[in-house]
Chains A and B, each alone.
Chain A
Amino acid sequence: MEEKEITAEPKEKKTHDKHEVVIEIKHLKKSFGSKDVLTDINLVVHRGENVVVLGRSGQGKSVTIQCIVGMLTPDEGSLKVFGEEVAELNEKELKELRMKIGFLFQSGALYDSMTVRENLEFPLTRVLKLKEQAEIDQRVEEVLNAVGLSEAVDKVPSDLSGGMRKRAGLARTLIIKPEIMLYDEPTTGLDPITSREISELILDMQKKYKTTSIIITHDMECARITADRVVIMDEGEYIEEGTFESLQKSKNKIVQSFFKDIS
């Protein structure tokens, strides 16, 4: 099979080092039982890039980022993060790697027995092992201000709207200042206005925290706002990549089907 090595093509607006490879995936394969979900995934992500993975539901878009963070082990192929093969890391090394990666789940995955403050304090005290309450409070306040959720600090997740949950989930992920952000369908289930707000927030957070991001979505507006580069996934492979604008002119019928409603 022809190798589809997808390389970076970030926009000129980035100011940090564009050449350092942060994530490198080669010929990644993953099956569940008899279903081949990832058949041949190849991707290189450079520091500071926002890469959007577009694809239909059930195509295994999320499986790739679950492999990146070590939740799933690939069947074949190579997946390196910061030059280290994820599948070969021991428990301690994987934990250290995960401290550099933020993962925003589709549902936000807030701990529902805790308030927003306790949710945010959890990674600070358990992962970063911070002891000073003043430092913890300062970090919580900073990140809540960044996502515009200061007023909800003492609320429990069940009292939050869908958009607020996503913001709180994003705040909890950003509070440990990760170098890589993985977003799993960040705008799913939200109304168009809130979706746009979350997409703009993702872009703002990338600029503020200088993160490298992979955003899994099928929301074209989210892709348009956040992407430096868009990768189209179909049948377990990345079939085409480029900027949002360049893909709009693609001749590939599958790619066209994503962009046909975009004016």
Chain B
Amino acid sequence: MAEEITIPGWKKWLEDIGEQVSFFIRFIKNIFVGGFEWSEFIRQCYEIGYRSMMLVGITSFIMGVVLILQLRPTLVDFGAASMLPKTLSVSFVREIGPVIIAIICAGKIASSIGAELGSMKVTEQLDAMDVSGANPLQYLVVTRILATTIMVPILSVIGDAIGLFGGFLALNLRDHISLSLYATKVIASLDYTDFLPAFIKTIFFGLAIGFVGCYKGFHSSKGTESVGLAANSAVVTASLWIFVIDAIAVQITSLLFYK
């Protein structure tokens, strides 16, 4: 009988990176193989987008309120209370909104995809699809990753709007500002260099959330415990990827737009 071979941790890590690259290439190839699963894609957009709307909305609203309540005392001390709409809108649209919403989506969507596909793996549904000659990557992976890539930016835009509205309500707890004046100040303080880079990075956030969820689900082991591990690992890894992508995006944006 052969001796037990112990694979060093770094080698396993490199193998995992290699597997992820290979999985991503297979995902890209399967987008273009034909026979796109439109009905499953639309179902996933509904599941991922519409069903996350309430959570994203509530979180964004609270974030808008909390930010105004936190910012106000400092800005009032500097006699810059009139800067509150601008400070909130720039910070929320550029950074806080996209990142917080992406983290919320990682928690809800990546875990859900990881658990669903992990459960299909445990119950041999992925194997059944594969050995029947059907293409599980095309049906399950392409649809889910593309749905998150499209829906996370949309959720982010909606979340931004709700967060800024929350800021308006919070501002009116102490001060009095009309909605039209608040909206004018917000719009005046934002230009495409605030909105566009933030929107583009949410596309990559969505891609990372869908990809990590699918990868972890597809590569879970076959025990029941692995379903929970796949969901947990999907959330942790997707969250980490969001911060890495954000750091890279901010650096690129700074070089391109800010001096």
A and B assemble together: yes
| B5 pairs with A33, CB closer than 8 A | yes
Q: Is A209 an interface residue (CB 8 A)?
A: no
* Residue positions of B touching A, CB distance < 8 A: 1-5, 35, 120, 123-125, 127-135, 139
A-B contact pairs, 17 of them (CB 8 A): A33-B2, A33-B4, A34-B5, A36-B1, A71-B130, A98-B133, A103-B131, A103-B132, A105-B124, A105-B128, A111-B129, A112-B120, A122-B129, A122-B134, A126-B35, A126-B135, A129-B35
Q: How many A-B residue pairs have CB under 8 A?
A: 64
Dominant secondary structure at the A interface: loop
Which residue in B125, B127, B133 is a CB contact (below 8 Å) of A99? B133
- Which residues does chain B contribute within 8 Å of A106, judged by CB atoms? 124
Q: Is A123 an interface residue (CB 8 A)?
A: yes
Q: Is A73 an interface residue (CB 8 A)?
A: no
Dominant secondary structure at the B interface: loop
Q: Please, which residue of chain B has its CB at the minimum distance from the CB of A100?
A: B133
| A110 pairs with B135, CB closer than 8 A | no
A242 to B16, CA, bound (A): 46
- Which residues does chain B contribute within 8 Å of A101, judged by CB atoms? 131
Q: In this complex, which of B2, B130, B132 has the most chain A Cβ atoms within 10 angstroms of its Cβ?
A: B132
Q: Is A31 an interface residue (CB 8 A)?
A: yes
Q: Please, which residue of chain B has its CB at the minimum distance from the CB of A127?
A: B133
Q: Is A8 an interface residue (CB 8 A)?
A: no
| B127 pairs with A105, CB closer than 8 A | yes
A35 to B128, CA, bound (A): 26
Q: A71-B127, A71-B130, A126-B139 are in contact. List 8 more A-B contacts (CB 8 A).
A: A33-B4, A34-B2, A35-B1, A105-B127, A106-B124, A122-B132, A123-B132, A127-B132
A127 to B2, CA, bound (A): 41
Size category of the binding interface on chain A: 20 to 34
Q: Is A190 an interface residue (CB 8 A)?
A: no
* Residue positions of A touching B, CB distance < 8 A: 31, 33-36, 69-71, 95-96, 98-99, 101, 103, 105-107, 109-112, 122-123, 126-127, 129, 172-173, 176
Q: In this complex, which of A35, A109, A173 has the most chain B Cβ atoms within 10 angstroms of its Cβ?
A: A109
A4 to B5, CA, bound (A): 31
A36 to B139, CA, bound (A): 35
A59 to B1, CA, bound (A): 16
A26 to B73, CA, bound (A): 81
A69 to B132, CA, bound (A): 9
